[in-house]
Amino acid sequence: MKKTILLVVLYFFAINTYSQNKTAYQIFDTKGKKVNYSKMMKSVKDADIILFGELHNNPIAHWLQYEVSLDLIKNGNLTFGAEMFEADNQDELNLYLRDSIDNKALESLARLWSNYKTDYAPLVDMAKNNGQKFIATNIPRRYASMVFKNGFEALDSVTELEKEWIAPLPIEYDPELPCYKNMLEMMGGHGGENFPKAQAIKDATMAYFISENYISGNKFIHYHGAYHSDNYEGILWYLKRDKPDLNYITISTVMQSDVFTLDEENKGKADFIICVDENMTTTY
């Protein structure tokens, strides 16, 4: 009886302490067990390719992307890549990395996201300052739009030069993958069967440029919206078809009202899940 009472007291003490000491985020493993940053990094440092899924406007995700990348680059060569840069802007990005153009010129020449300065410029500058590559992995949005409107067949009309910015066609596509089936359900049927195809061409293209630029013995970290690799699908599904023997680690970001316990629906989304308080301020 005394033991039971003690456990109840300790439980309420822990809850009270948690409520008084605000916690911005908590990292969990895939089963929902709390882990600290160091534990996560032990696994990350053993990986060949790290797929870091973010919520685009979440400052905790962006801060941890920076910290993870900084810790990785201290231990050797690291290739960077991101959804936020489209493949036909690789030349402009390379010019900036070589210091041939300044930041103002990059902003005028490349199609940068509105939150580039706050959320992605620090990562690009990290690659630049350490002499590392930064790969523009995403399909140019006009081609994804073509697929959304008219299916994969719309890409048959693009030139050979334009195909260099897209995964080799035709891409493998499985409409039964939950990530694509769920997209149709989320849209309530609006957008039609081409909606998940537009997502798939992005996933396939990002996976292709990650694979093409992966260097054996180095590490590759890729930043993208969490949905592109959640539940070990999307980008990872395509990567494993090309390079099944590599060691992959996935990280996802979620938001909850309570970061003390991971919700059931968020378990299994990735090897590590960053759970952020839903009251967290956003970067835009």
The full set of domain ranges for the chain reads 25-277
Burial of residue 254 (number of CB atoms within 10 Å: 0-12, 13-18, 19+): buried
* pLDDT value at residue 4: 42
* pLDDT value at residue 12: 42
Asked whether 239 and 211 are in contact (CB, 8 A), the reply is: yes
Give per-10-residue mean pLDDT for the chain (284 aa): 42 47 93 98 98 98 98 95 98 98 96 96 98 98 97 96 97 96 77 91 98 97 98 98 97 97 98 97 93
* pLDDT value at residue 188: 64
Q: How far is residue 66's CA from residue 73's CA, in Å, rounded to a whole number? A: 11
Backbone dihedral region for residue 109 (phi beyond 0: left; psi -120 to 50: alpha; all else: beta): alpha
Question: β-pairing, 219-225 with 49-54?
Answer: parallel
For 84, 96, 108, 125, 128, the CA distances from 99, given in Å and listed in that order, are 20, 5, 15, 11, 8
Tell me the CATH architecture of domain 25-277: 3-Layer(aba) Sandwich (3.40)
* pLDDT value at residue 191: 62
* pLDDT value at residue 20: 60
* pLDDT value at residue 22: 83
| CA proximity to 267, closest of 57, 34, 69 | 34
* pLDDT value at residue 189: 58
| CA proximity to 132, closest of 199, 82, 198 | 82
My answer on whether omega of the bond before 170 falls inside 30° of 0, hence cis, is yes
| CA proximity to 254, closest of 48, 77, 81, 26 | 26
CB atoms within 10 A of CB 5: 9
* pLDDT value at residue 87: 98
Q: Tell me the whole-structure pTM to 2 decimals.
A: 0.92
Q: How far is residue 98's CA from residue 7's CA, in Å, rounded to a whole number? A: 60
* pLDDT value at residue 186: 78
Q: How far is residue 37's CA from residue 35's CA, in Å, rounded to a whole number? A: 7
Phi, psi (degrees; rounded to nearest 5) at 34: -65, 135
